[in-house]
Amino acid sequence: MENTINEQTTTQVMTPAQFLEHYQGHRRLTRKIIEAFPEKEFFNYSIGGMRPFSEMAKELLAIAVPGLTEIVSGKTGEFDENRDYGNTKAEFLKKWDQDTEQINKLWKQLSIERFQEHVKLFGQYEGSVLSNIQYFVDNEIHHRGQGYVYLRALDIEPPFFYDRS
Amino acid sequence: MENTINEQTTTQVMTPAQFLEHYQGHRRLTRKIIEAFPEKEFFNYSIGGMRPFSEMAKELLAIAVPGLTEIVSGKTGEFDENRDYGNTKAEFLKKWDQDTEQINKLWKQLSIERFQEHVKLFGQYEGSVLSNIQYFVDNEIHHRGQGYVYLRALDIEPPFFYDRS
């Protein structure tokens, strides 16, 4: 088990476990933002012609598990940010939680050597596994930051940015 | 030079050089957002009682070089997000570019072992060097995402999120 030995005995800037926790911490915060939206505004509210937060959440769901599944399996899949997760926040949150578990399972199948490997996700996004997963996380932070503005404009106090509990 | 050998010969999820490039790529995109704002709106425009983007930029400038300086020097400094960088976008951009160079210089002084070291920044933010610098980057993505909403609300097309050139 060369991978495990490497990870445990050499100095890492960031271990795979820390990367997973970083991602899941951000996903926990995004979950709080979904919860913070009033039911109707989650699906309808927007500013400046942008998408409602439910549509952004669909994009995040279309990236996380499908993207990691591709990385782990090596099989190209379809990028589809228009999948139907229902018409209630509760249904989105249920899917979110299912994906949280799925991400943990997929992560266990990622050996440390894979992070520097070159991949092409969804038939188009080229880069290292590292840069692709960083993009998953960064894109989530980016859109969630937009959700914060929606909540503020709705006069709703959003959760603290540093709260990843 | 154990550090250099480790970095070059063992598998890293993310090398220090990749982490720096990731951070600077995001800083290049934030610079484009500053540029995209009309002069007046950079300092005055906001939504939902939030800060104008100039104030968010002040926070980012208060974190990046001062935070890295603390990490490198080990000396506690002051967190001051109200420093005066002038009243024009050009002055902010000049400071931004100066800090880009400064970050590159400071990064060279960070050995690979330091990333897992526990630190307390600005006398209050505890965690590993890794988690602190991740926070610098994530916080920048978060606020810049808010800047995207400001620009959209001002009917200005923001740069692509994936453009880190």
Q: Is B49 within 8 Å of A152 when comparing Cβ atoms?
A: yes
- How many folded domains does chain B comprise? 1
Residue B2 lies in a domain: no
Residue B4 lies in a domain: no
Residue A97 lies in a domain: yes
Domain range for B124 is 21-153
Structure confidence at residue A10 (pLDDT): 72
Instruction: Tell whether A156 lies on the interface with B, counting CB pairs under 8 A.
Output: no
List CB contacts (< 8 A) between A14 and chain B: 13-14, 19, 115, 130
pLDDT in tens, A74-101: 999 889 999 999 999 999 999 999 999 9
Structure confidence at residue A3 (pLDDT): 47
pLDDT in tens, A56-76: 999 999 999 999 999 999 999
pLDDT in tens, B8-61: 457 999 999 999 999 999 999 999 999 999 999 999 999 999 999 999 999 999
Residue B125 lies in a domain: yes
pLDDT in tens, A111-145: 999 999 999 999 999 999 999 999 999 999 999 99
Residue A3 lies in a domain: no
pLDDT in tens, B103-157: 999 999 999 999 999 999 999 999 999 999 999 999 999 999 999 999 999 999 9
Residue B3 lies in a domain: no
Mean pLDDT calculated for residue range B75-82 = 94
Structure confidence at residue A9 (pLDDT): 55
Instruction: Tell whether B156 lies on the interface with A, counting CB pairs under 8 A.
Output: no
Beta-carbon contacts below 8 Å between A and B: 119
A142 is an annotated ligand-binding site residue: no
List CB contacts (< 8 A) between B148 and chain A: 142, 145-146
Residue A6 lies in a domain: no
Domain at B105, CATH number: 1.20.120.450
Residue B161 lies in a domain: no
Instruction: Tell whether A113 lies on the interface with B, counting CB pairs under 8 A.
Output: yes
Residues 64-83 of B with CB under 8 A from A: none
pLDDT > 50? residue A2? no
Angle between helices A16-36 and B129-153 (to 10 degrees): 40
**Across the interface, which of B116, B139, B151 has its CB nearest the CB of A161?**
B139
